[in-house]
A and B are shown apart, each in its own frame.
Chain A
Amino acid sequence: GAVVSQHPSRVICKSGTSVKIECRSLDFQATTMFWYRQFPKQSLMLMATSNEGSKATYEQGVEKDKFLINHASLTLSTLTVTSAHPEDSSFYICSAITLFDNSPLHFGNGTRLTVT
């Protein structure tokens, strides 16, 4: 149980374009989803917390107008990287919480974004 599906797994885009990443909880309802970014050989950096039906809460230093998050249902959250630049190239990972707010996070398989 507690499967989180993330799509696409890899994407290459040109500078200035936008990319949408989907995160779905397949066998549970996720009231809260989290988006992380990880640069090579660095730890996970939380970008934002997404609650179903409300605006996402962004971490300090993360541009909310650049990283658009939508959490329209209990099983789907999307992250759109707008006007992507090469420095946005990274590994983006979503995660979701099952029942309780201190339960383990379950991660999607991640999306490797390369901006050329």
Chain B
Amino acid sequence: QKEVEQNSGPLSVPEGAIASLNCTYSDRGSQSFFWYRQYSGKSPELIMFIYSNGDKEDGRFTAQLNKASQYVSLLIRDSQPSDSATYLCAVNRGGGFKTIFGAGTRLFVKA
């Protein structure tokens, strides 16, 4: 079992729709959860981070965390073609442990 699992996609949504990206993790000691966006040939860019159970909203993005289910998700409202990228879920246990990345989900927003 991978430490951080994501559906590789591609996930295709029409422009203006809600894109829902999911991630599960295996380490129950994980404390910090991150979503990064990576365009082809570029380095990852931080979108959201969440530390507590529940929802965290920032503009069109909402991160959701459920530690009991070991599940973290990212919702993108009003999806735009410019949102087309690979979205990486990352998890950190804290205490000096390294950040673990999922393999990423490719999102394609159709104009």
Contacts and interface: CB of A to CB of B under 8 A. Distances in A.
Name the interface size band of chain B: 20 to 34
B42 interface: yes
A28 B96 CA distance: 18
B103 A105 contact: no
B46 A104 contact: yes
Given A101-B94, A102-B92, A104-B49, A43 B43 contact: no
Contacts, number: 50
B108 interface: no
A116 B103 CA distance: 28
Q: In this complex, which of A6, A49, A105, A108 has the most chain B Cβ atoms within 10 angstroms of its Cβ?
A: A105
A84 to B, nearest CB: 20
Interface of B: 31-32, 34, 36, 41-46, 49, 51, 88, 90, 92-99, 101-104
